[in-house]
Amino acid sequence: MERAGRHYSLKMALRPAGLHAAEEEDINGRLAHEVAALLACAPHPNLPALHAVDRWPEPPDGYLYFVTDYIDGETFHEWRWRVKPTAAHLLTVFTEVVRVVADLHRRGVHHRDMKGDNVLIRREDERPILIDLGTVRLPGATTLTVGVAPAAPHLLPPECVAFLREGTGSRGPTSTRAFPGTSTRWARCCTRRSRMATRSTRSFRMTACCRPSKR
C-alpha cells in the first residue's frame, strides 16, 4: 500500500473476528501474536517497524489488520544465489540475524519458524530483516498449535524429531500415555511427520554435500 509517497506492507486476516471454523487455522491469533512480538522489540533495526493495528470496517468484529514498513528486498536464499557472498560477508549477515533472535529471546519471544524465506535482505543496505512472526511463542500467551511446531519438515530440529520418536514411536497405549488426552490417530500423524522430516533432512544433507561449487 502507498500513503503520502511512502510504501507500506499491510497484512489482513482472511475472515472477520470469531468466524473461522474449528478446524481452520486461527489467523486472528497469528496476527495478534505477530503484532505483540513486533511491539516487544520495537524499535529494532532488524524487524519491520509497526505503524498501525486496527479492524476493518468496524473495530468490534471486523477484519484484523496491521501495517508495517515495506521491505524492498529478497529472501536470504535469493540473495545468496544472486550475490554469491564471501564467507566474511555471510558472517556479517548471520551475526545480525543471531542478534535479533537473541533480542527476541531476552524478551521471552521465540520465532519457531526460522528459515531463509523468513529473512529478507534489504536492497538498499543488505541488512537482514526478520519477518513472519505469526507463529511466535509469547510469554504468558496461549499457544496456537498443538504437537509439532509449525515449520518445514526438513527444517525441524533434531531434538523435535527425537522427541516425537520417543513419545509417539509406538502405537496404542504407549502413544496416548506419552500425550495424555490425545488420540492414537493424532499420535500416528505425528510419527509420520517425524519420519518424513528425517527423510527430508537426509535428502537435504546429501544434496548439500554433493552439489558442486559454482565458480
Poorest-pLDDT segment among 52-66, 96-110, 174-188? 174-188
- Which one, of 47, 185, 199, 193, lies nearest residue 111 by Cα? 47
Cell numbers of 151, please?
Answer: 515449520
Give percent above pLDDT 90 in the chain: 46
Per-residue pLDDT for 212 more than 50?
no
Which pLDDT does position 142 carry in this prediction? 67
Which pLDDT does position 197 carry in this prediction? 46
Cis peptide before 57 (omega within 30 of 0): yes
Strands 128-130 and 73-75: unpaired
Question: Which span out of 12-16, 120-124, 158-162 was modeled with the highest average pLDDT?
Answer: 120-124
The Cα-based distances of 29 to 25, 142, 145, 149 in angstroms read 9, 9, 11, 15
Cell numbers of 8, please?
Answer: 507500506
The answer to whether the beta carbons of residues 62 and 56 sit under 8 Å apart is: yes
SS3 state at 43: coil
Average pLDDT score over the chain: 78
Per-residue pLDDT for 185 more than 50?
no
Cell numbers of 51, please?
Answer: 505503524
SS3 state at 54: strand
The answer to whether the beta carbons of residues 69 and 51 sit under 8 Å apart is: yes
Q: What is the pLDDT of residues 142-177, one digit of tens each?
A: 666 666 666 677 777 777 777 777 765 444 443 333
The answer to whether the beta carbons of residues 124 and 97 sit under 8 Å apart is: no
Cell numbers of 106, please?
Answer: 531476552
Confidence of residue 26 (pLDDT cuts 50, 70, 90): low
123-140 as b/e, with b when 16 or more CB fall inside 10 Å? eeeebbbbbbbbbbbbee
Amino acid at 45: P
Q: What is the pTM of this model?
A: 0.69
CA-to-CA distance for 139 and 38, rounded, in angstroms? 14
More confident site: 16 or 179: 16
CA angle 12, 13, 18 (to 5 degrees): 145
The Cα-based distances of 156 to 149, 178, 179, 191, 214 in angstroms read 8, 20, 20, 13, 28
CA-to-CA distance for 78 and 89, rounded, in angstroms? 15
Question: Which span out of 1-5, 29-33, 73-77 was modeled with the highest average pLDDT?
Answer: 73-77
